[in-house]
Amino acid sequence: MFFRNKITAVKKKAVKDIDMSKIPEHIAIIMDGNGRWAKTRGMPRSFGHKAGVETIREIVKTCSNIGVKYLTLYAFSTENWKRPPDEVNALMMLLVEYLRKEVDELHQNNVVVNFIGDISALPQVCQDELTNAKNRTKQNSGLILNLALNYGGRDELIKAFKTIAIEIVNRNLDVDDVNEELISKFLYTKGMPDPDLVIRPSGEYRLSNFLLCR
Ligand code: FPP
């Protein structure tokens, strides 16, 4: 209990020390390091993932309170399907649990829940909770919480180029129309600013197929 109070005091001080004139418009987080964090404590990876979700709760609240406009969380990549099925299932259930527990509070805090990536491959229960959270919060005007799920930067580009190619074949677009601005309109992040800050908690410096061309 003493320890918890101490952490809360440290967090309050950290928030107080933020220069409110320099708040990034868009923060992106590659949610990794959970497994390694648990391992150093002699705990299973699932323990690390649960702790990761707790941290995310705090981050979302803080970003919303200090006026960040976009927060993108790289929660499940197109490569993450290669993980053991038990781990994949546990991650999907954590997502469902997070959305069920948090959606009311997110809505009260004026947060808009959005997702990027091909969610059609996620279990139906995840798709339902995501659609529910999105519909419920779509009229809000605060923080836009972008959950990147079954997301991959390369996959995003392939989808964009295929759609553009179809538009050219159907003569709705001309090859000369293809430029940076046009491509950005075919990305999941259409209309959103590029991230000002990408955080990777594990300390790795790779982008790992996240928001490649920003
Ligand atoms: C990668 O690092 C982490 C993930 C693939 C999972 C992150 C997603 C969740 C915890 C699901 C819930 C999502 C939300 C948005 C509530 P790692 O844990 O494999 O750690 P490592 O890099 O140390 O191996």
Q: Which residues does the annotation place in the binding site for substrate?
A: 33-37, 45, 49, 77-79, 81, 83, 200, 206-208
Cα of 153 from ligand 1 centre, angstroms = 17
88 Cα to the center of ligand 1, angstroms:
10
Q: Does the pLDDT value for residue 208 go beyond 90?
A: no
Residue nearest to atom 18 of ligand 1 (CA): 34
Question: Locate tokens 């996959």: which residue?
Answer: 155
Ligand 1 atom closest to the Cα of residue 56 is 16
Annotated binding-site positions for Mg(2+): 32
Instruction: Work out which ligand 1 atom sits closest to the CA atom of 91.
Output: 11
Share of the chain above pLDDT 70, in %: 96
Give residue-wise pLDDT tens across range 36-55.
999 999 999 999 999 999 99
- For residues 176 and 16, give the distance between their C-alpha atoms in angstroms, rounded to a whole number: 51
Predicted confidence (pLDDT) per residue in 169-198, tens digit: 999 999 999 999 999 999 999 999 999 999
Question: How much is the pLDDT for 126?
Answer: 98
**Which is higher by pLDDT, 175 or 18?**
175
Residue closest by Cα to atom 3 of ligand 1:
32
State the pLDDT confidence band at 2, using cuts at 50, 70 and 90. Answer: very low
pLDDT of res. 17: 83
Q: What would the 3-class secondary structure string for the chain be?
A: CHHHHHHHHHHHHHHHCCCHHHCCCEEEEECCCHHHHHHHCCCCHHHHHHHHHHHHHHHHHHHHHHCCCEEEEEEEEHHHHHCCHHHHHHHHHHHHHHHHHHHHHHHHCCCEEEEECCHHHCCHHHHHHHHHHHHHHCCCCCCEEEEEEEECHHHHHHHHHHHHHHHHHCCCCCHHHCCHHHHHHCCCCCCCCCCCEEECCCCCCCCCCCCCCC
Q: Evaluate if residue 214 carries a pLDDT over 90.
A: no
For ligand 1, residues with CB inside 6 Å are: 31-36, 48-49, 52-53, 56, 73, 75-76, 80, 91, 94-95, 98, 147, 202
Helix axis angle, 45-66 to 85-108, nearest 10°: 20
- 132-153 per-position pLDDT tens digit: 999 999 999 999 999 999 999 9
Residue nearest ligand 1's atom 14 by CA: 95
pLDDT in tens, 88-120: 999 999 999 999 999 999 999 999 999 999 999
Higher-confidence residue: 78 or 213? 78
pLDDT score for 16: 80
Position 11 scores a pLDDT of 72
pLDDT band for position 67 (cuts 50, 70, 90): very high
Distance 52 CA to ligand 1 centre (A): 7
- Domains annotated on the chain, with CATH: 2-152+194-199 (3.40.1180.10)
Give the span between the Cα atoms of 24 and 133, in whole angstroms: 25
The Å distance, Cα 50 to ligand 1 centre, comes to 9
